[in-house]
Amino acid sequence: MRLFVRGDVDGFFAIAMDNLIQLLLIPALCIGVVGMAPPFVYGRILPGIAVSYVVGNLFYAWQAHRLARRENRTDVCAIPFGLNTPTMVAYAFLVMLPARQLALARGAADPDSAAWQAGLVACLGSGLIEFSGAFVAEGLRRLTPRAALLASLSGAGISFLTLNFVFDLYAHPVVGIVTLGLTLLFFFSGLRPRGGIPPAVVIVAVGTALAWATGLAPGSAVLAGSVGLHLPGFVGGDLARGIGGGLFLPYLPIVIPMGLLNLLASMQCVESAAAAGDSFSLRSSLAVNGICTFAAACFGSPFPTSIYIGHPAWKRMGARAGYSTLNAVFMTAVCFTGSIAAIGWAVPPEAGIAIIVWVGLIITVQAFEATPQRHWPAVIMGIVPVLISWATFSIKNGIRIAGTAQDFSPSLVARFHAAGTFIDGGFALEQGAFFAALVLSAATVFIIERRLFVAAGWMLAAAGLSLLGLMHSWRFAGADTIGFLPLLDRVTGSATPGGLFPAAAFALGYFALALILCTARWFTEPDLK
């Protein structure tokens, strides 16, 4: 397989636009939400992100060449790789912001460092969980139906990628509708631009031109001092201070579930690549992802990395391994120079968002293409928890915008009940949504296959996850609802709302269903219609 093919240009523009949108979020989160000073973002966090980009993208490019040589093929596509967006947002809101507020309340001289160090320790914890999980994931993969592994990814594709960004497209209709139409034309019709111009280049160029013509661009002014050479440095001392100061203890209920969910999502991404024809080693793929997150923390980034959903979309573009190598070089240059501020000024994210919407559509379609038709109900069942999670997240954003943090209290649930909406069900399903998607989808597959004892085993697993607090365990926290591990709260001396097992009702429900499935043979008979 050649180092570069023409499809790598399309793949590079697609992955670079996705990564750039994420990088544009980092100043907004760290400066706008957490309140950190710009030098922390451009001088420490972005260079640390660059280290993880280099390690990950170059490894997955090499992995694709290795598979191509072993199988004597030229159509192997490298696994896409970058920052983990859900974890990035969660760590900013639920780890770094509270740590900074706590430092301010205690009169700390440098609250920015406290927030940053808490984020570094959280990122390190995620990396350790992802790396360790790589050595047990293969067994889980063998036990789990493909429909269950792909279903939650489809849920993420249709909700967090497609629906989420369609809002943005239609908020800016001239740019959004035109770029969406071009994306559908180039990627679904089999037609390409004349002269061999990559479709993604045309889409972004047209989107940028329309953004300038309609006043959407330029964006905010370039921050003074942000553009310049910023090289990474080892931050072992800050990590040690964060660990030694116990900064990580209050956030373990966030770090542990997020690390496990990242592991699960990465495993599903490798399964998605296998369904598209590229069977990579699950252990090495997951282990290197964990190493990249570990490296990010050691060089200043509080944000974990991730294997991306969407491998089939890049493969359909004709991308192979070169796009991953190009991405490593480009993102390193962007992070080391702080030029993300200038890019955000010139090229608004809306210029390329339609490509992300298309990636979400392809991910959703793949779950149905790669599974037998009789398992489609299981795919839909697995999509539902993630879709509800996104809807609940959006509802909470609306509450925050319309009200105050005091709205997040038990009276909020009562008001929703009075209006006929059981929002507490959404709060519960939001916590551990990927676990719920996996369990419900797998159980549905085995029910379809009439392997009821195996389905009952998945229900017992759901009961255990609920008791441990990894599913459905939630509480109000400021202007939000968060998941938590009540057993860990008891160990650390924190208050435990709802008792030691706040999700016990869910565990009881799953356990009762397991009993029903185990005894179903005595009160059911085959439908001969």
67 and 110 both lie in a single domain: yes
Residues near 466 by Cβ (< 8 Å), separated by ≥ 6?
472, 473, 503, 504, 506, 507, 510
Q: Give a yes or no: residue 286 inside a domain.
A: yes
The pLDDT-based confidence of 336 (bands split at 50, 70, 90) is very high
**pLDDT of 341:** 81
Summarised one tens digit per residue, pLDDT across range 347-376 is 877 888 888 888 788 878 888 988 899 999
Residue with more model confidence, 166 or 477: 166
Q: Which of 371, 389, 424 is the last residue of a domain?
A: 371
Q: Give a yes or no: residue 436 inside a domain.
A: yes
Point out the least confidently predicted range of 169-183, 185-199, 212-226. Answer: 212-226
C-alpha–C-alpha distance, residues 309 and 328, integer Å: 18
Summarised one tens digit per residue, pLDDT across range 284-312 is 999 999 999 999 999 999 999 999 877 88
**pLDDT of 345:** 80
355 and 389 both lie in a single domain: no
415 and 507 both lie in a single domain: yes
The pLDDT-based confidence of 405 (bands split at 50, 70, 90) is low
364 and 445 both lie in a single domain: no
The answer to whether residues 274 and 77 touch, using CB atoms and an 8 Å cutoff, is: no
365 and 513 both lie in a single domain: no
Burial 247-258 (b: 16+ CB within 10 A, else e): bbebbbbbbbbb
The beta strand positions in 273-429, using DSSP E, are 305-307
**Over residues 462-483, mean pLDDT:** 83
- pTM, two decimals, is 0.76
Residue with more model confidence, 397 or 131: 131
Is the pLDDT at 130 greater than 80, yes or no? yes
**Over residues 328-334, mean pLDDT:** 94
405 and 426 both lie in a single domain: yes
C-alpha–C-alpha distance, residues 524 and 522, integer Å: 6
**pLDDT of 498:** 58
5 SS3 class:
coil
Most confident of 251-265, 463-477, 503-517: 503-517
**Over residues 378-401, mean pLDDT:** 89
Amino acid at 433: A
**pLDDT of 90:** 75
Q: SS3 for 220-266, per residue?
A: CCCCCCCCCCCCCCCCHHHHHHHHHCCCCHHHHHHHHHHHHHHHHHH
The pLDDT-based confidence of 478 (bands split at 50, 70, 90) is low
345 and 422 both lie in a single domain: no
365 and 511 both lie in a single domain: no
- Its domain, for residue 467, covers 372-529
218 upstream amide cis, omega within 30 of 0: yes
225 and 313 both lie in a single domain: yes
The pLDDT-based confidence of 489 (bands split at 50, 70, 90) is low
- Count the domains in the chain: 2
**pLDDT of 249:** 64
136 and 244 both lie in a single domain: yes
Following DSSP, what letter does each residue of 384-444 receive, concatenated? Answer: HHHHHHHHHHHHHHHHHHHS-GGGSSHHHHHHHHHTT--HHHHHHHHTTHHHHHHHHHHHH
Summarised one tens digit per residue, pLDDT across range 86-120 is 678 778 877 888 788 778 877 888 889 989 999 99
The answer to whether residues 13 and 204 touch, using CB atoms and an 8 Å cutoff, is: yes
Point out the least confidently predicted range of 123-132, 141-150, 411-420, 510-519. Answer: 141-150
The pLDDT-based confidence of 209 (bands split at 50, 70, 90) is very high
Q: Give a yes or no: residue 148 inside a domain.
A: yes
Q: Give a yes or no: residue 403 inside a domain.
A: yes
13 SS3 class:
helix
Is the pLDDT at 250 greater than 90, yes or no? no
90 and 225 both lie in a single domain: yes
Q: What is the mean pLDDT of the chain?
A: 86
Residues near 329 by Cβ (< 8 Å), separated by ≥ 6?
none
Whole-number Cα distances in Å, 16 to 48, 206, 327, 478: 18, 17, 6, 35
Greatest Cα pair distance in the chain: 75
149 and 28 both lie in a single domain: yes
Summarised one tens digit per residue, pLDDT across range 34-88 is 889 888 899 999 999 999 999 999 999 999 999 999 999 999 999 999 987 767 8
Following DSSP, what letter does each residue of 65-121 receive, concatenated? Answer: HHHHHHHT-S---PPPEEE-HHHHHHHIIIIIHHHHHHHHHTT-S-HHHHHHHHHHH
The answer to whether residues 465 and 435 touch, using CB atoms and an 8 Å cutoff, is: yes
C-alpha–C-alpha distance, residues 442 and 436, integer Å: 10
Tell me the percentage of the chain whose pLDDT exceeds 90. Answer: 44
Residue with more model confidence, 298 or 158: 298
The answer to whether residues 114 and 100 touch, using CB atoms and an 8 Å cutoff, is: yes
Q: Give a yes or no: residue 1 inside a domain.
A: no
Name the one residue in this structure whose structure tokens are 């993604």.
Answer: 200
Is the pLDDT at 223 greater than 70, yes or no? no
Q: Which of 348, 371, 394 is the last residue of a domain?
A: 371
**pLDDT of 72:** 95
Residue with more model confidence, 224 or 464: 464
**pLDDT of 253:** 59
Q: Which of 330, 347, 371 is the last residue of a domain?
A: 371
Q: Give a yes or no: residue 408 inside a domain.
A: yes
Q: Give a yes or no: residue 49 inside a domain.
A: yes
Q: Which of 139, 36, 150 is nearest to 97 (CA)?
A: 36
Q: Give a yes or no: residue 314 inside a domain.
A: yes
